[in-house]
Chains A and B, each alone.
Chain A
Protein backbone atom coordinates (compact mmCIF):
# COMPACT_ATOMS: atom_id res chain seq x y z
CA UNK A 1 0.00 0.00 0.00
CA UNK A 2 1.54 3.33 -1.01
CA UNK A 3 2.42 5.59 1.81
CA UNK A 4 0.37 8.77 1.75
CA UNK A 5 2.88 11.39 2.73
CA UNK A 6 0.33 14.18 2.52
CA UNK A 7 -1.29 13.69 5.82
CA UNK A 8 0.76 12.77 8.78
CA UNK A 9 4.41 12.01 8.27
CA UNK A 10 6.86 13.30 10.82
CA UNK A 11 7.06 17.02 10.21
CA UNK A 12 10.22 18.72 9.19
CA UNK A 13 11.37 20.52 12.29
CA UNK A 14 10.63 23.90 10.75
CA UNK A 15 6.89 23.16 10.95
CA UNK A 16 7.19 22.75 14.70
CA UNK A 17 9.28 25.91 14.85
CA UNK A 18 6.77 27.85 12.78
CA UNK A 19 3.92 26.74 15.00
CA UNK A 20 5.90 27.67 18.09
CA UNK A 21 6.67 31.14 16.68
CA UNK A 22 3.04 31.70 15.77
CA UNK A 23 1.87 30.49 19.17
CA UNK A 24 4.26 32.86 20.92
CA UNK A 25 3.10 35.78 18.81
CA UNK A 26 -0.62 35.06 19.14
CA UNK A 27 -0.33 34.44 22.88
CA UNK A 28 1.50 37.70 23.50
CA UNK A 29 -0.92 39.64 21.32
CA UNK A 30 -3.87 38.14 23.17
CA UNK A 31 -5.33 36.13 20.29
CA UNK A 32 -4.94 32.76 21.99
CA UNK A 33 -4.88 31.54 25.56
CA UNK A 34 -2.59 28.49 26.02
CA UNK A 35 -5.02 27.05 28.56
CA UNK A 36 -7.84 27.27 26.03
CA UNK A 37 -5.68 25.49 23.43
CA UNK A 38 -5.00 22.68 25.90
CA UNK A 39 -8.68 22.44 26.84
CA UNK A 40 -9.74 22.06 23.20
CA UNK A 41 -7.05 19.49 22.46
CA UNK A 42 -7.87 17.53 25.60
CA UNK A 43 -11.54 17.44 24.63
CA UNK A 44 -10.79 15.73 21.33
CA UNK A 45 -8.05 13.47 22.67
CA UNK A 46 -9.88 12.16 25.72
CA UNK A 47 -13.58 13.06 25.76
CA UNK A 48 -15.11 13.15 22.29
CA UNK A 49 -14.69 10.28 19.87
CA UNK A 50 -16.42 7.44 18.04
CA UNK A 51 -17.48 5.76 21.30
CA UNK A 52 -20.08 8.54 21.51
CA UNK A 53 -21.50 7.60 18.14
CA UNK A 54 -21.40 3.91 19.00
CA UNK A 55 -23.55 4.57 22.08
CA UNK A 56 -26.06 6.41 19.88
CA UNK A 57 -26.21 3.53 17.39
CA UNK A 58 -26.57 0.88 20.08
CA UNK A 59 -29.42 2.79 21.65
CA UNK A 60 -31.12 3.16 18.27
CA UNK A 61 -30.86 -0.61 17.78
CA UNK A 62 -32.49 -1.37 21.11
CA UNK A 63 -34.97 1.49 21.55
CA UNK A 64 -37.38 1.99 18.62
CA UNK A 65 -38.72 5.28 19.99
CA UNK A 66 -35.17 6.66 20.27
CA UNK A 67 -34.44 5.48 16.75
CA UNK A 68 -37.46 7.40 15.46
CA UNK A 69 -36.31 10.54 17.27
CA UNK A 70 -32.79 10.02 15.92
CA UNK A 71 -33.94 9.77 12.32
CA UNK A 72 -36.28 12.74 12.82
CA UNK A 73 -33.90 15.12 14.63
CA UNK A 74 -30.50 13.59 15.23
CA UNK A 75 -29.01 16.58 17.04
CA UNK A 76 -31.79 16.55 19.63
CA UNK A 77 -31.63 12.76 20.04
CA UNK A 78 -27.85 12.75 20.45
CA UNK A 79 -28.12 15.58 22.97
CA UNK A 80 -30.30 13.26 25.08
CA UNK A 81 -27.14 11.17 25.51
CA UNK A 82 -25.02 14.25 26.18
CA UNK A 83 -23.47 14.51 22.73
CA UNK A 84 -23.81 17.93 21.18
CA UNK A 85 -21.85 20.93 20.06
CA UNK A 86 -19.63 22.28 17.36
CA UNK A 87 -19.88 20.48 14.00
CA UNK A 88 -22.92 18.63 15.29
CA UNK A 89 -25.46 21.44 15.38
CA UNK A 90 -27.39 19.91 12.49
CA UNK A 91 -26.80 16.18 12.56
CA UNK A 92 -28.53 13.87 10.11
CA UNK A 93 -28.61 10.13 10.61
CA UNK A 94 -28.96 8.01 7.48
CA UNK A 95 -30.03 4.42 7.90
CA UNK A 96 -28.53 1.42 6.17
CA UNK A 97 -31.12 -1.12 5.05
CA UNK A 98 -31.13 -4.22 2.92
CA UNK A 99 -31.69 -1.92 -0.08
CA UNK A 100 -29.30 0.99 0.66
CA UNK A 101 -25.74 1.32 1.92
CA UNK A 102 -24.86 4.88 2.95
CA UNK A 103 -21.38 6.38 2.93
CA UNK A 104 -20.23 9.88 3.92
CA UNK A 105 -17.52 12.11 2.45
CA UNK A 106 -16.62 15.79 2.26
CA UNK A 107 -15.15 16.33 -1.19
CA UNK A 108 -14.44 20.04 -0.63
CA UNK A 109 -12.64 19.86 2.73
CA UNK A 110 -13.13 17.39 5.57
CA UNK A 111 -16.45 18.13 7.30
CA UNK A 112 -17.24 15.50 9.92
CA UNK A 113 -19.72 15.11 12.82
CA UNK A 114 -17.38 15.91 15.70
CA UNK A 115 -19.66 15.40 18.74
CA UNK A 116 -20.41 11.81 17.78
CA UNK A 117 -17.21 10.75 15.97
CA UNK A 118 -14.49 13.10 17.23
CA UNK A 119 -11.95 14.41 14.74
CA UNK A 120 -11.66 12.56 11.42
CA UNK A 121 -8.94 10.01 10.71
CA UNK A 122 -6.28 10.97 8.17
CA UNK A 123 -7.73 8.76 5.48
CA UNK A 124 -11.05 10.65 5.60
CA UNK A 125 -9.13 13.88 4.94
CA UNK A 126 -6.92 12.32 2.26
CA UNK A 127 -7.03 13.44 -1.36
CA UNK A 128 -7.64 9.83 -2.37
CA UNK A 129 -10.81 9.42 -0.30
CA UNK A 130 -12.17 12.88 -1.08
CA UNK A 131 -11.71 12.41 -4.83
CA UNK A 132 -12.79 8.79 -5.16
CA UNK A 133 -15.72 8.37 -2.78
CA UNK A 134 -18.22 10.03 -5.12
CA UNK A 135 -17.05 8.56 -8.44
CA UNK A 136 -16.10 5.02 -7.44
CA UNK A 137 -17.62 4.32 -4.03
CA UNK A 138 -17.70 0.59 -4.61
CA UNK A 139 -13.98 0.44 -5.34
CA UNK A 140 -13.35 2.47 -2.18
CA UNK A 141 -15.58 0.16 -0.18
CA UNK A 142 -13.72 -2.86 -1.50
CA UNK A 143 -10.45 -1.39 -0.27
CA UNK A 144 -12.09 -1.19 3.14
CA UNK A 145 -13.20 -4.81 2.83
CA UNK A 146 -16.86 -4.00 2.23
CA UNK A 147 -18.54 -5.70 -0.71
CA UNK A 148 -21.96 -4.34 -1.62
CA UNK A 149 -23.99 -6.43 -4.08
CA UNK A 150 -24.57 -4.76 -7.45
CA UNK A 151 -28.33 -4.74 -6.94
CA UNK A 152 -28.08 -2.76 -3.69
CA UNK A 153 -27.80 1.04 -3.87
CA UNK A 154 -24.65 2.74 -2.61
CA UNK A 155 -25.75 6.22 -1.54
CA UNK A 156 -22.93 8.69 -0.98
CA UNK A 157 -23.52 11.84 1.09
CA UNK A 158 -21.21 14.73 0.23
CA UNK A 159 -21.19 17.13 3.23
CA UNK A 160 -21.06 20.36 1.26
CA UNK A 161 -23.05 22.43 3.79
CA UNK A 162 -23.32 22.50 7.59
CA UNK A 163 -25.39 19.33 7.84
CA UNK A 164 -23.30 16.54 9.32
CA UNK A 165 -24.06 12.93 8.48
CA UNK A 166 -23.82 9.80 10.61
CA UNK A 167 -24.60 6.36 9.22
CA UNK A 168 -26.85 4.04 11.21
CA UNK A 169 -25.39 0.64 10.32
CA UNK A 170 -27.51 -2.48 10.03
CA UNK A 171 -27.79 -4.50 13.21
CA UNK A 172 -25.55 -7.54 12.76
CA UNK A 173 -27.17 -10.96 12.83
CA UNK A 174 -26.63 -13.14 15.86
CA UNK A 175 -26.95 -10.36 18.40
CA UNK A 176 -30.22 -11.38 20.02
CA UNK A 177 -30.07 -10.74 23.72
CA UNK A 178 -27.03 -8.47 23.51
CA UNK A 179 -27.08 -5.57 25.94
CA UNK A 180 -26.81 -2.01 24.66
CA UNK A 181 -23.21 -1.86 25.91
CA UNK A 182 -22.32 -5.10 24.15
CA UNK A 183 -23.91 -3.83 20.93
CA UNK A 184 -21.96 -0.57 21.16
CA UNK A 185 -18.75 -2.63 21.09
CA UNK A 186 -19.73 -3.87 17.61
CA UNK A 187 -20.04 -0.36 16.18
CA UNK A 188 -16.79 0.74 14.55
CA UNK A 189 -16.01 4.30 13.55
CA UNK A 190 -15.89 3.22 9.92
CA UNK A 191 -19.33 1.65 10.15
CA UNK A 192 -20.71 5.08 11.10
CA UNK A 193 -18.92 6.75 8.16
CA UNK A 194 -20.17 3.99 5.90
CA UNK A 195 -16.79 2.56 4.92
CA UNK A 196 -17.42 -0.36 7.24
CA UNK A 197 -20.27 -2.45 8.56
CA UNK A 198 -21.05 -3.43 12.14
CA UNK A 199 -20.00 -7.00 12.79
CA UNK A 200 -20.83 -9.42 15.58
Chain B
Protein backbone atom coordinates (compact mmCIF):
# COMPACT_ATOMS: atom_id res chain seq x y z
CA UNK B 1 0.00 0.00 0.00
CA UNK B 2 1.35 3.39 -0.75
CA UNK B 3 -0.41 6.39 0.77
CA UNK B 4 -0.53 5.04 4.28
CA UNK B 5 0.96 5.96 7.62
CA UNK B 6 4.13 3.91 7.18
CA UNK B 7 5.21 6.73 4.82
CA UNK B 8 6.10 8.94 7.77
CA UNK B 9 8.63 11.40 6.42
CA UNK B 10 7.59 14.93 7.37
CA UNK B 11 4.68 14.02 9.65
CA UNK B 12 4.21 15.96 12.87
CA UNK B 13 2.90 14.90 16.23
CA UNK B 14 4.94 11.90 17.33
CA UNK B 15 6.77 13.89 19.96
CA UNK B 16 10.27 13.51 21.31
CA UNK B 17 12.47 10.60 20.37
CA UNK B 18 12.56 8.25 23.32
CA UNK B 19 15.90 6.55 23.84
CA UNK B 20 16.92 3.73 26.11
CA UNK B 21 20.36 3.52 27.71
CA UNK B 22 22.18 0.25 27.08
CA UNK B 23 19.27 -1.09 25.11
CA UNK B 24 19.34 -4.85 24.58
CA UNK B 25 19.06 -6.20 21.03
CA UNK B 26 15.76 -7.84 21.95
CA UNK B 27 13.50 -6.97 24.87
CA UNK B 28 11.70 -10.27 25.28
CA UNK B 29 11.95 -13.88 24.26
CA UNK B 30 8.97 -13.49 21.93
CA UNK B 31 10.83 -10.75 20.04
CA UNK B 32 13.76 -13.10 19.52
CA UNK B 33 11.42 -15.77 18.22
CA UNK B 34 9.47 -13.58 15.83
CA UNK B 35 12.68 -12.09 14.43
CA UNK B 36 14.16 -15.56 13.92
CA UNK B 37 10.98 -16.91 12.39
CA UNK B 38 10.68 -14.04 9.92
CA UNK B 39 14.31 -14.37 8.90
CA UNK B 40 14.17 -18.11 8.37
CA UNK B 41 10.69 -18.67 6.93
CA UNK B 42 10.58 -16.32 3.94
CA UNK B 43 12.30 -18.92 1.78
CA UNK B 44 9.84 -21.73 2.59
CA UNK B 45 6.94 -19.28 2.23
CA UNK B 46 8.31 -18.23 -1.17
CA UNK B 47 7.88 -14.53 -0.54
CA UNK B 48 10.38 -11.72 -1.02
CA UNK B 49 11.34 -8.74 1.12
CA UNK B 50 9.32 -6.28 -0.96
CA UNK B 51 6.23 -8.44 -0.57
CA UNK B 52 6.77 -8.59 3.19
CA UNK B 53 7.20 -4.81 3.38
CA UNK B 54 4.01 -4.44 1.37
CA UNK B 55 2.16 -6.71 3.79
CA UNK B 56 3.37 -4.74 6.81
CA UNK B 57 2.26 -1.47 5.22
CA UNK B 58 -1.16 -2.95 4.51
CA UNK B 59 -1.98 -3.15 8.19
CA UNK B 60 -4.81 -0.59 8.53
CA UNK B 61 -3.34 2.80 9.49
CA UNK B 62 -5.18 3.07 12.79
CA UNK B 63 -3.80 -0.33 13.77
CA UNK B 64 -0.30 0.34 12.40
CA UNK B 65 0.19 3.32 14.69
CA UNK B 66 -0.78 1.34 17.79
CA UNK B 67 1.44 -1.64 17.10
CA UNK B 68 4.98 -2.07 18.33
CA UNK B 69 7.71 -2.89 15.87
CA UNK B 70 7.78 -6.65 16.27
CA UNK B 71 3.99 -6.80 16.72
CA UNK B 72 3.80 -5.89 13.05
CA UNK B 73 6.18 -8.73 12.21
CA UNK B 74 3.97 -11.12 14.16
CA UNK B 75 0.74 -10.04 12.45
CA UNK B 76 2.43 -10.20 9.07
CA UNK B 77 3.73 -13.72 9.63
CA UNK B 78 0.42 -14.94 11.08
CA UNK B 79 -1.52 -13.62 8.10
CA UNK B 80 1.05 -15.04 5.68
CA UNK B 81 0.77 -18.49 7.26
CA UNK B 82 -3.02 -18.33 7.13
CA UNK B 83 -3.13 -17.02 3.57
CA UNK B 84 -0.76 -19.76 2.40
CA UNK B 85 -2.93 -22.41 4.08
CA UNK B 86 -0.05 -23.47 6.31
CA UNK B 87 -2.21 -23.14 9.40
CA UNK B 88 -5.76 -21.96 9.98
CA UNK B 89 -6.80 -19.13 12.25
CA UNK B 90 -8.73 -21.68 14.31
CA UNK B 91 -5.67 -23.89 14.67
CA UNK B 92 -3.60 -20.94 15.89
CA UNK B 93 -6.32 -20.07 18.39
CA UNK B 94 -6.42 -23.66 19.59
CA UNK B 95 -2.65 -23.73 20.03
CA UNK B 96 -2.84 -20.49 21.99
CA UNK B 97 -5.45 -22.09 24.23
CA UNK B 98 -3.06 -24.92 24.94
CA UNK B 99 -4.89 -27.49 22.85
CA UNK B 100 -3.01 -29.93 20.67
CA UNK B 101 -3.51 -29.58 16.94
CA UNK B 102 -2.64 -32.11 14.29
CA UNK B 103 -0.17 -30.51 11.91
CA UNK B 104 1.95 -32.48 9.48
CA UNK B 105 5.16 -31.34 7.91
CA UNK B 106 4.86 -30.31 4.27
CA UNK B 107 8.12 -28.50 3.52
CA UNK B 108 11.70 -28.63 4.73
CA UNK B 109 12.84 -25.67 6.79
CA UNK B 110 15.94 -23.60 6.10
CA UNK B 111 18.60 -25.21 8.33
CA UNK B 112 20.79 -23.33 10.80
CA UNK B 113 24.03 -23.71 8.84
CA UNK B 114 22.37 -22.59 5.61
CA UNK B 115 20.83 -19.64 7.39
CA UNK B 116 24.17 -18.54 8.85
CA UNK B 117 25.77 -18.82 5.42
CA UNK B 118 22.96 -16.74 3.91
CA UNK B 119 23.28 -14.09 6.62
CA UNK B 120 27.00 -13.84 5.93
CA UNK B 121 26.66 -13.47 2.18
CA UNK B 122 23.27 -11.81 1.72
CA UNK B 123 21.56 -11.45 -1.62
CA UNK B 124 22.08 -8.28 -3.56
CA UNK B 125 19.20 -6.40 -5.19
CA UNK B 126 21.58 -5.14 -7.89
CA UNK B 127 20.79 -6.42 -11.38
CA UNK B 128 22.39 -5.95 -14.78
CA UNK B 129 20.19 -3.93 -17.09
CA UNK B 130 20.73 -3.28 -20.77
CA UNK B 131 18.83 -0.04 -21.13
CA UNK B 132 20.81 3.17 -21.19
CA UNK B 133 20.46 5.56 -18.29
CA UNK B 134 17.84 8.25 -18.90
CA UNK B 135 19.45 10.57 -16.37
CA UNK B 136 23.04 11.30 -15.47
CA UNK B 137 24.76 12.67 -12.43
CA UNK B 138 24.15 16.42 -12.26
CA UNK B 139 20.77 16.32 -14.03
CA UNK B 140 17.87 18.11 -12.46
CA UNK B 141 14.90 15.77 -12.11
CA UNK B 142 11.42 15.91 -10.67
CA UNK B 143 9.96 13.12 -8.56
CA UNK B 144 6.75 12.12 -10.30
CA UNK B 145 3.41 12.59 -8.62
CA UNK B 146 2.52 8.90 -8.50
CA UNK B 147 -0.12 7.48 -6.20
CA UNK B 148 -0.36 3.75 -6.85
CA UNK B 149 -2.59 1.75 -4.55
CA UNK B 150 0.08 -0.94 -4.39
CA UNK B 151 3.58 -1.04 -2.95
CA UNK B 152 6.01 1.72 -3.84
CA UNK B 153 9.17 3.17 -2.31
CA UNK B 154 8.51 6.69 -3.55
CA UNK B 155 7.86 8.67 -0.36
CA UNK B 156 5.06 11.25 -0.50
CA UNK B 157 7.28 14.04 0.76
CA UNK B 158 9.38 14.12 -2.43
CA UNK B 159 6.57 13.74 -4.98
CA UNK B 160 6.43 16.66 -7.37
CA UNK B 161 9.69 18.11 -6.09
CA UNK B 162 12.88 18.98 -7.92
CA UNK B 163 16.23 17.46 -7.06
CA UNK B 164 19.64 16.75 -8.53
CA UNK B 165 20.91 13.29 -9.44
CA UNK B 166 24.07 12.68 -7.41
CA UNK B 167 24.63 8.96 -8.04
CA UNK B 168 23.63 6.18 -10.41
CA UNK B 169 23.45 2.83 -8.59
CA UNK B 170 22.71 0.85 -11.75
CA UNK B 171 19.95 -1.70 -12.16
CA UNK B 172 18.12 -2.78 -9.02
CA UNK B 173 15.12 -4.99 -8.37
CA UNK B 174 12.04 -2.78 -8.75
CA UNK B 175 10.00 -3.09 -5.55
CA UNK B 176 6.75 -1.97 -7.16
CA UNK B 177 6.60 -5.11 -9.31
CA UNK B 178 8.59 -7.46 -7.09
CA UNK B 179 6.19 -6.92 -4.18
CA UNK B 180 3.30 -8.29 -6.21
CA UNK B 181 5.30 -11.13 -7.79
CA UNK B 182 4.98 -9.44 -11.17
CA UNK B 183 8.71 -9.91 -11.67
CA UNK B 184 11.90 -8.28 -10.47
CA UNK B 185 11.60 -5.85 -13.40
CA UNK B 186 14.94 -4.21 -12.63
CA UNK B 187 15.11 -0.48 -13.15
CA UNK B 188 17.96 1.96 -12.73
CA UNK B 189 18.27 3.48 -9.27
CA UNK B 190 19.46 7.02 -8.70
CA UNK B 191 20.30 8.92 -5.56
CA UNK B 192 18.57 12.28 -5.80
CA UNK B 193 19.46 15.21 -3.57
CA UNK B 194 16.69 17.64 -2.67
CA UNK B 195 17.15 21.03 -1.04
CA UNK B 196 15.34 21.13 2.29
CA UNK B 197 13.75 24.42 1.19
CA UNK B 198 12.35 22.71 -1.95
CA UNK B 199 10.71 20.01 0.20
CA UNK B 200 9.64 22.00 3.23
CA UNK B 201 9.58 25.64 2.24
CA UNK B 202 11.54 28.67 3.27
CA UNK B 203 11.46 27.84 6.97
CA UNK B 204 14.03 25.13 6.30
CA UNK B 205 17.74 25.83 6.53
CA UNK B 206 18.92 26.73 2.97
CA UNK B 207 22.09 24.70 3.55
CA UNK B 208 20.27 21.46 4.30
CA UNK B 209 19.48 18.66 1.88
CA UNK B 210 17.76 15.27 1.83
CA UNK B 211 19.08 12.45 -0.37
CA UNK B 212 16.62 9.78 -1.48
CA UNK B 213 17.18 6.64 -3.56
CA UNK B 214 14.65 6.66 -6.40
CA UNK B 215 14.12 4.29 -9.33
CA UNK B 216 13.96 5.68 -12.86
CA UNK B 217 10.16 5.27 -13.23
CA UNK B 218 9.74 7.54 -10.19
CA UNK B 219 11.49 10.39 -12.00
CA UNK B 220 10.97 12.73 -14.93
CA UNK B 221 13.23 15.31 -16.50
CA UNK B 222 12.78 18.74 -14.97
CA UNK B 223 11.08 21.01 -17.49
CA UNK B 224 13.34 23.81 -18.47
CA UNK B 225 11.77 27.20 -17.75
Binding site for B on A (CB under 8 A): 1-11, 14-33, 35-41, 43-45, 49, 84-90, 105, 107-110, 115, 118-119, 121-123, 125-135, 137-138, 140, 143-144, 150-163
Contacts and interface: CB of A to CB of B under 8 A. Distances in A.
Contact of B56 (A22, A109, A140): A109
Contacts of B59: none
B136 to A, nearest CB: 18
Contact of B213 (A6, A30, A161): A161
B39 interface: yes
A115 B122 CA distance: 10
A156 B122 contact: no
Contacts of B101: 25
30 contacts: A6-B69, A20-B30, A20-B95, A22-B34, A25-B92, A29-B103, A29-B106, A30-B108, A31-B45, A32-B36, A37-B40, A38-B112, A40-B40, A43-B119, A45-B32, A84-B121, A87-B122, A88-B122, A108-B9, A121-B23, A122-B20, A125-B69, A128-B15, A129-B17, A131-B11, A133-B9, A134-B157, A158-B213, A162-B124, A163-B189
Contacts of B78: 18, 22
A33 B69 contact: no
B123 A86 contact: yes
Across chains A and B, which 3 residue pairs bring their CB atoms closest together, nearest first?
A: A37-B36, A107-B9, A4-B18
Contact of B16 (A2, A43, A85): A2
Contact of B211 (A44, A126, A155): A155
Interface of B: 6-20, 23, 25-30, 32-37, 39-41, 44-45, 53, 56-57, 65-69, 71, 74, 77-78, 81, 86-87, 91-93, 95-96, 101, 103-116, 118-126, 153-155, 157, 169, 172-173, 175, 189, 191, 193, 199-200, 204-205, 207-215
B214 A131 contact: no
Nearest to A135: B10
A29 B95 CA distance: 14
B16 A1 contact: yes
A9 B69 CA distance: 11
B68 A7 contact: yes
B153 A160 contact: yes
Given A2-B15, A18-B92, A140-B17, A118 B36 contact: no
B170 to A, nearest CB: 10
Query: Main SS of the interface on chain B?
Result: mixed
B8 A40 contact: no
A52 to B, nearest CB: 12
B12 A22 contact: no
A1 B18 contact: yes
A126 B207 contact: no
Nearest to B95: A21
Contact of A89 (B77, B106, B123, B191): B123
A32 B95 contact: no
A158 B36 contact: no
Nearest to A153: B207
B20 A8 contact: yes
Given A8-B27, A130-B8, A154 B153 contact: no
Contacts of A89: 122-126
A44 B169 CA distance: 28
Contacts of B115: 33, 36, 39-40
Given A40-B36, A40-B40, A89-B124, A15 B71 contact: yes
A26 B92 CA distance: 10
Contacts of B111: 33, 35-36
Contacts of A122: 18-20, 23, 69
B16 A40 contact: no
A32 B123 contact: no
- B34, B114, B173, B208 pick with most chain A CB within 10 angstroms: B208
